[in-house]
Structure 1
Amino acid sequence: MSTLPEQLVKTEAHRSIFESAVRQLPLPVCAAFGSSDSPQPVSFSNTNRVLSTKDSDAVRQQFPKTVAASGNIVLTSAGTSTIRVQGKRVAVLFSGGPAAGGHNVVCGLKRVLGAGNTLFGVKAGPKGLLKGTLFEITDANVDFILNTGGFDFLGSDRTKIKSDEQFAQVRETCIKHRLDAIVVVGGDDSNTNAAVLAESLYSGVKSDGSGVQVIGVPKTIDGDLQLGDLLSISFGFDTATRIYSEMVGNILQDTSSSLKYWHFVKLMGRSASHVALEVTLQTKPAIAIISEEVSAKKMSLASIIDGIARVVVERSHRGMNYGVLLAPEGLIEFIPEMNAMIAELNDVLAHEAAAFAALADDA
């Protein structure tokens, strides 16, 4: 009879029957890339559509090389191509929090690149890119992670690549592994970091003076990476809100059963309330606080509390001494007086950085 540690190792190695079944499902593929059985490379062509926002001039000043090269022109699929590029070396990394679908990005890259190119995985996100901890991704790796959740295959972190020393480290990694491209799977911060990295690696990396392409893949459960009809929502949002809605729905059922509890539920959403709003639409709680509404109406902390108290009292008069309140995690920063206090504290911390550092050293 095997020992407990041996049984645990065996169980972990084989995972669950559910995961085994999930791995047998076809890879979901965007129609532009053909079928899930055999996704093909896609060629792109320019459209007449130019992305223009109120920040266009600032973006052009911050990223002169990449903006000049692309012209901020939207590309469209020109169809799949049976002619595959050969000899390309691409690295992929996860950045920020995990979201369902990340592993399938890796699977799709591997299948489209095919046997004639090399796909590297970067361990532990941007930090791994700085350290050069890359490994070659095999077909067996892809078969094992297909359709599974999490970011555990590569790992992730929130390192910001912004100093000259860090850019130099990335260049060394690119040169050492002879990279042609880096794919960053991440949210708004991560894609901003990818844009900065693309500008830095635009040229002068390879011996012929050319650079390394940097491609950002929008990923976030927060739903705050949207671009109209071009990107209605990022992957991860639907899965997260469905799971949250199931959990909140269970709590709503429990409150109407016990008849005596109020539950205050904090949901993801530091700088946007898309998750809280979607879960509210799916579950219909007694109270939902939306950060953007608080900011737009310049609601004070006192008025928010008064509003909550009124609902609690009104429900109590109806014999309903229970309910559920939903609020996004970043609510506090949208309340005007709290936002002003945070800004003032940040100024104090910035101006008195040396003094605070000395206090920390004394401690």
Structure 2
Amino acid sequence: MKGKYVELTSDFVHPYRNQGGFDMICSGRDKIETPEQFKQAEETVTKLDLDGLFVIGGDDSNTNACLLAEHFTAKNMKTRVIGCPKTIDGDLKSKEVPASFGFDTACKIYSEMIGNVMIDARSTGKYYHFVRLMGRAASHITLECSLQTHPNITIIGEEVFEKKLTLKNVTDYIVDVICKRAENGYNYGVILVPEGLIDFIPEVQELISELNEVLAQGNVDEEGLWKKNLKEETLKIFEFLPQTIQEQLMLERDPHGNVQVAKIETKKMLIQMVETELDK
């Protein structure tokens, strides 16, 4: 949309060939929504005389690709838009695309690291390790790493959502497993958690929805009067969370309007809640 581009010549690409990452042309987080943005995209591809436009990325990027394709078609433009699934979360798949590239590599690397943590946990015999894995809206990486490493506990976001589990339900489950293992002399273990777990819990989803409205209206004040805009049950959930998580839930949303789950320390939240229950 901004008309920034580089020509991918052989000399330009050569230093990056056969390497992972996307630092060659970097990554963008723009979301195409307004008429002005569509107009900018239209002007850019016309100026560059593009026959085709590849959009490489996850679900949000491919949504952009779809919207651009429809817009260009409506304008009878020659530019064809192709969406290429690229997400290590593994949440873009079909019969033709069983796995988007990046998923397999990420799972293997993470699994090796988790395996090392598991050996360390067994060696010391006195620690529980909470491992947070990527996956904002899908737990595919967490599930695959669990199948490869067999940790003591794996929390799957989709399962939490389907069973309508609360934060307390999840906490109690972890505490029960830790206590059962302690009875057998095992005071150590590894617990896998998807980074987007907090976004899968129905009661937290409602909380985030209400917080989004509060933030959009700009009614947040240091005295906490804004909390009156929350429903009674929602406020109880908010105040049940550790202070650090409350603050992180109030952070600015990403360009797509999503809570920045990568900045929410889910594992620390669970650790604090589990510690509180164990102390009882």
Superposition TM-score, scaled by structure 2 size? 0.75
CA distance in 1: counterparts of 2:191 and 2:37, whole angstroms: 44
Other structure's SS at 1:137 match: coil
CA shift, 1:354, in A, is: 5.5
Q: How many residues align?
A: 222
Return the letter of the residue paired with 1:140. Answer: D
Q: Report the alpha carbon displacement of residue 178 of structure 1 after superposing the two structures with TM.
A: 1.0
Aligned-pair CA distance for 1:340? 2.0
Rounded to whole Å, the distance in 2 between the matches of 1:284 and 1:247 is 13
Which residue in the other structure is 1:220 paired with? 87
CA distance in 2, matches of 1:340, 1:321: 36
Output the CA distance in 1 between the equivalents of 2:198 and 2:71: 36
**Mapping 1:45-56, distance limit 5 Å:** none
Question: Does structure 2 retain, via aligned residues, the 8 Å contact 1:203–1:211?
Answer: no
Which of residues 171, 175, 183 is equivalent to 1:309?
175
Q: Distance in 2 between matches of 1:320 and 1:354?
A: 49
Q: Say if 1:355 and 1:299 are closer, same or farther in 2 by CA, change over 3 A.
A: closer
State the alpha-carbon separation in 2 of the partners of residues 314 and 324 from structure 1: 14
Alignment of 1:137-148 (within 5 A): 137-148=8-19
Segments of 5+ residues of structure 2 without an aligned counterpart are 224-280
2:52 paired with 1:181: yes
Question: Which structure is larger by alpha-carbon Rg, 1 or 2?
Answer: 1
Offset of 1:349 from its aligned partner? 3.9
More helix by share: 2
Partner deviation per Cα, 1:317-360 (whole Å, 9 max, x = no partner) = 1111110100101111211221222223234444xx16459x9x
Does 2:166 align with 1:295? no
2 CA distance for matches of 1:231 and 1:151?
20
Written as runs of structure 1 = structure 2, the 5 A alignment for 1:74-89 is none
Q: Of residues 32, 36, 41 in structure 2, which corresponds to 1:165?
A: 36
What is the root-mean-square deviation of aligned Cα atoms in Å?
Answer: 1.8
2:89 aligns to what SS in structure 1?
coil
2:214, 2:6 → 1: CA distance? 45
Deviations, residues 141-170 of structure 1 (Å, cap 9, x unaligned): 333322111111111121112211111111
Q: Which amino acid aligns with 1:237?
A: F
Matched, 1:202 2:73: yes
CA–CA distance in 1 between the matches of 2:58 and 2:50? 23
Q: Is 1:275 matched up with 2:141?
A: yes
Q: 1:194 to 1:256 in 2, by over 3 A?
A: same
Conserved? CA contact 1:219–1:236, under 8 Å? yes
Q: Secondary structure at 1:270's aligned position in 2?
A: coil
Query: Taking every aligned residue pair, what percent have the same amino acid on both sides?
Result: 52
> Aligned to 1:237, which of 87, 103, 127?
103
1:1-363 matches, within 5 Å, as 130-204=1-75, 209-227=76-94, 229-350=95-216, 353=217, 355=219
Unpaired runs of 5+ residues, structure 1, are: 1-129
